[in-house]
């Protein structure tokens, strides 16, 4: 299912050869040189993950508080979850969508996910 969704997305965006998978079942959607969304199939559904912004901040406590509030009920993240990388040096956004989704829902969720990454990437800059 994910493979057909990615082929359809590549066709719509005229990115025929750029949404290929080096690892079977894992696709990379690049927003820019530094920000990449990894899209994969897991047993529960389709999983989006993106590491996007360093957490270095002069106002780190306020930033983390706002990130926690954004995660509360998913209202500031459109249902995705903001967390930290294993090293704690960057933010990571992740989201799981139902395995029984259709292409339209997949595409809309991906668009929302991209918008949330863009929003929080810019928002973090205000805390530096």
Q: What is the pTM of this model?
A: 0.91
C-alpha distance from residue 2 to each of 6, 31, 95 (Å): 6, 19, 15
What is the per-residue pLDDT for 97?
Answer: 96
pLDDT at residue 78, rounded to an integer: 95
Task: Please give the CATH topology (third level) of the domain spanning 2-125.
Answer: Yope Regulator; Chain: A, (3.30.1460)
Q: Locate the domains of the chain by residue range.
A: 2-125
Give the pLDDT confidence score for residue 23 in this predicted structure.
83
Is 19 within 8 Å of 9 (Cβ atoms)? yes
Distance CA 107, CA 101 (A): 10
**In the structure encoding, which two tokens stand for residue 80, read together?**
């995705």
Q: Which of 91, 6, 74 is nearest to 41 (CA)?
A: 6
Read off the pLDDT of residues 29-43 as tens digits, 9 standing for 90 and up.
888 888 999 999 999
């Amino acid at each position: 299912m994910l493979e057909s969704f990615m082929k359809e997305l590549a066709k719509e965006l005229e990115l025929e050869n750029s949404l290929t998978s080096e690892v079977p079942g894992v696709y990379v959607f690049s927003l820019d040189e530094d920000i990449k969304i990894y899209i994969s199939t897991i047993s529960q559904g389709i999983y989006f993950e993106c590491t996007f912004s360093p957490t270095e901040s002069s106002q780190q406590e306020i930033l983390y508080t706002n990130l926690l509030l954004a995660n509360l009920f998913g209202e500031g993240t459109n249902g995705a979850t903001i967390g930290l990388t294993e090293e704690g040096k960057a933010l990571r956004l992740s989201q799981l969508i139902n395995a029984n989704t259709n292409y339209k829902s997949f595409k809309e969720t991906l668009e929302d996910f991209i918008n949330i990454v863009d929003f929080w990437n810019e928002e973090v800059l205000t805390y530096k």
